[in-house]
Structure formats: structure tokens, C-alpha cells
Amino acid sequence: MTASPPHFSPRVLAVANQKGGVGKTTTAINLGTALAAVGEQVLIIDLDPQGNASTGLGIPRTAQMRSTYHVLIGEARLHHVIVESGIPRLDCAPSSMDLLGAEIELSDFDRKTFRLADAISVLSRETGLRYDYILLDCPPSLNLLTINAFCAADAVFVPLQCEFFALEGLSQLLKTVERVRVNLNPRLVIQGVVLTMYDRRNSLSEQVAEDVRSVLGDKVYETVIPRNVRVSEAPSHGKPVLLYDNNCIGSQAYIRLASEMIRRERNLRVA
Ligand code: ADP
Ligand code: MG
């Protein structure tokens, strides 16, 4: 019998959708927390100038702090900006408003689409930090920051809000992923799609879910994240909803999402 080799390369997932307000950050924080709760080492990298992943984890943002911006422009190593979230096994590389200018600043850099990929490979190679999952919280745009995430990622995880135009924006996202796969990062695939803010009382939610499943098949997670006020209250307390109210339906859904992800990841490794 051969022991399976120690797997130290992290699984890097870009949590992306160019639409704002669809649940990317909420999913990065709460999926990350749920994965950490079952023993996975997790790093959330905040790539949105808004920094909601950082503040939602209770990490204060100060003008002097070093952030993912400094990593991208080469002024800091990734491990120098990583902070502990206070939640066991969950760390965060926070963002800062400077990221707003990164797109223009990076345009003159070598390997401008691979700045994050290079930083992550240095982290894995040269430090003792071992993460099972690295979740990249992307900004609401298909800009150079998101392209950096796609070049650094093994796969894209897409939160999709159950609303009328959900599928329309998705085709643009899928096209971009395909373009990056062909030109920049051949291993990039869609890991999965999770329906967010599902409202059981609204027949539109159900209709959208059906449409999305008929187009994307088993890429769509069985787990659906319901609209739940506790989920939206948690960030103002600087906590994942799993810590704010562990029993609410939103927390329960994110726990199920993490188990489904682990199950799917295991199946991918076996296949
Ligand atoms: P994005 O990162 O895609 O812009 P967010 O995760 O910040 O989206 O979510 C947008 C808003 O919707 C936030 O105010 C968040 O608290 C709220 N929200 C996200 N998911 C849920 C949910 N399942 N139920 C209720 N509110 C939610
Ligand atoms: Mg966000």
C-alpha cells in the first residue's frame, strides 16, 4: 500500500462574478470559515479595493497597513501582509483602497497578469505557511485584478444571485474564463456555481434556479444559500455569520456548502 503524498500545494479558488452585490465576499468569508471549522487551513486574499472581506472578518483597515496592493506592485511579500483572523485556521491578506490604482500602475509591469500567481507560488515555496484552500475575493469587474486572480487560480467558484438577469452576466464571465484558459492559464476551470440569496417565497428564485441548472448542469451546487437577514447583519459585527449566529439558516447553508465543496474536490482528485 502506498501512502498518498503530502499535498502542500494549496487549492486556489477565485470567487468571482463581475456583478456587484451577488454574494462573493459573503461566500468567501463564510465558506472560508466553514472550511476552517472542519480542519482545513484557509487563506482569504482580498482583491477588492472595497475591502469587505477584510472588514467582515473584523480586520481594521488603516492607511499605513500593507495590503494585497503592496504585494501586487512588488513592495511586499504575501506572507508579510497576511494577518490572523482570530478564527482558528483562517487567515486573511487584507486589501486597501490603493488597489483602485493598481490597474493603471500594473499596466507597465512585467508579467502584469501573473503578479498574484507569482506571489502565491513564492508563499508556497519559501514559507512554512501551508494552506489547503486559498480563496480569492474578486472585485465586481473583469479588470486586471480579476485577471490576476484567474491566472493564480486552479478554478473559479461563482456565486450567482437568484434574480432575473443572473444568466446574462454569466455568459460574459464564462467567456472571460475561457479566454484566460486559452491564453494565460491552461488549468483554469469552473469549479462550481452556487446560487445565493435564494428566496423560497419568491417563485422567481425557483425559476432562476431551474434555468441555471438546465444550462450549467452539475456545475451548479446542490446547496443553495438562502436570503437570510442574519447573513447580512454579521459583517457589521466584524464576524462571519457562522460566529454571529451559528444556528441560523444562512450559517447552516454555508456549512453544507463547505461539505459539498470538500466532497466535490475529493471526487476531482480521484477522477
Ligand atoms: P459581492 O461581494 O458580490 O459584492 P456581498 O457578499 O458583499 O456581494 O453581498 C452583497 C450584500 O448582500 C451584502 O450587504 C451582504 O451582507 C448581503 N448578502 C449576501 N448574501 C446574503 C444572504 N444570503 N442573505 C442576505 N443578505 C445577503
Ligand atoms: Mg465583494
Mean pLDDT, residues 97-101: 93
CA 75 – ligand 1 centroid, Å: 32
Rg of the Cα atoms in the chain: 18
Count CA atoms closer than 13 A to 89's CA, side-chain side: 15
Give the Cβ contact number of residue 181 at 10 Å. Answer: 16
pTM of the predicted protein model: 0.96
Mutation probe of ligand 1 site: the residue of 195, 232, 248 with most atoms within 8 A of C-beta: 232
CA 76 – ligand 2 centroid, Å: 23
In CATH, the number for domain 11-270 is 3.40.50.300
Q: Where are the domains of the chain?
A: 11-270
**Secondary structure class of 252 (helix, strand, coil):** helix
pLDDT in tens, 61-76: 777 789 999 999 999 9
Provide CB contacts within 8 A for 224, sequence distance 6+: 194, 195, 196, 198, 209, 253
The predicted pLDDT at position 164 comes to 81
pLDDT at 246 over 60: yes
The predicted pLDDT at position 38 comes to 97
